[in-house]
Amino acid sequence: MRLCRYDDDRLGVVRGNMVHDVTEAQTKIRAAAPYAMKGDAVIAALPEWRTRLEEMAAKAPGKPVSQVKLLSPVARPSKLVAAPTNYKAHIEEMAARATTQNIMASPAIGTAGLFIKANSSLVGPSEGVAIRFPERRNEHEVELAIIFGKQGSDIPRDKALDYVAGYCIGLDMTARGKEDRSFRKSIDTYSVLGPWMVTADEVSNPDDVPLKISVNGELKQNSNTKELIYDCRKLIEWGSTFYTFYPGDVLYRNPGRGEPGQAGRRDAREHRSDRRDDGAGPGAQGRHVTRGMSRCCR
């Protein structure tokens, strides 16, 4: 199932190129959820509500994806977690840059640890990225993002995927500089998620998902999650030794091959995942235009 949020916080099930409104379910789920709960109530309720959501979608008229404003598929994560330097070629690229720029190279993921991005930086693909420091190098890194479906801490590797609700395409933006990594990566709109969440049962192997990103028609990254140093299970196992993950929490897995592209105020970016077990995949081809409007559609 492909689940999206769109327009004025509406909930939709995406089938083909159409969005079917199931906001009534979202309203009931949220009304029943404790205000102080940690995590996203809709994501937490998916196991109980999935059949009803499918039934509601089947009865609801469809609206073309091209005619809606896609928001982040997750409304209220308790945190956004990201993995740095999780790809050997990326480490080598950053090391080469560090040498030419006379700065410290990034350590490998096992030494660097994970980092947090502010929830206020989270946006959907239609909301745009506002470049805060145009005089700096601003980069975009396309990643496969894990969406947690239930609470877990100290999760064993062999149970890791049991805690995953689904997957999205993530765009981890950063402004390069000497400040702390989380500070530079938590700028408003610098965490893009979408275009929708594909439920975990429809992605047979999250460690074999091709990802690409192009800027103004030029291919900048072309990689596969199978080339990451820490695979999906390892990241969840390791991350959960430090954090308790809650429903709706997002784990960005780090980019792969290709130097992260530099973003300008009016760049057009296409980000894509081609692994489509159900004909849909974590996300179909999309276009994202900074400081403007974007559409993500098949």
The percent of residues in the chain predicted with pLDDT above 70, rounded, is 79
Q: What is the pLDDT of residue 50?
A: 98
If one counts every other C-beta atom within 10 angstroms of the C-beta of residue 31, the result is 8
Q: For residues 296 and 66, which has the higher predicted lDDT (pLDDT)?
A: 66
Compute the average pLDDT of residues 260-268: 57
184-223 pLDDT per residue, tens:
999 999 999 999 999 999 999 999 999 988 888 888 888 8
Query: Once rounded to an integer, what is the mean pLDDT over residues 52-70?
Result: 98
- d(CA 108, CA 86) in angstroms, rounded, equals 7
Q: What is the model's pLDDT at position 213?
A: 87
**Contact present, 123 and 69 (Cβ < 8 Å):** no
Q: Which domains does the chain have, with CATH numbers?
A: 2-67 (no CATH), 80-296 (3.90.850.10)
Mean pLDDT, rounded, of the chain: 85
Tens digits of residue pLDDT in 70-126: 999 999 999 999 998 887 666 666 656 656 766 666 677 888 899 999 999 999 999
Structure tokens at 110: 């096992």
Q: What is the mean pLDDT of residues 14-24?
A: 98
Q: How many CB atoms lie within 10 A of CB 260?
A: 22
Tell me the pLDDT tens digit for each residue of 145-170: 999 999 999 999 999 999 999 999 99
pLDDT digits (tens, 9 = 90+) for 233-250: 999 999 999 999 999 999
Of residues 122 and 293, which shows the higher confidence score?
122
Q: How confident is the model at residue 280 (pLDDT cuts 50, 70, 90)?
A: very low
Unique residue bearing structure tokens 């091959």: 257
pTM assigned to the model: 0.85
pLDDT of residue 89: 66
pLDDT value, residue 285? 32
Q: How far apart are CA 194 and CA 133, in angstroms?
A: 24
pLDDT at residue 84 in the model: 86
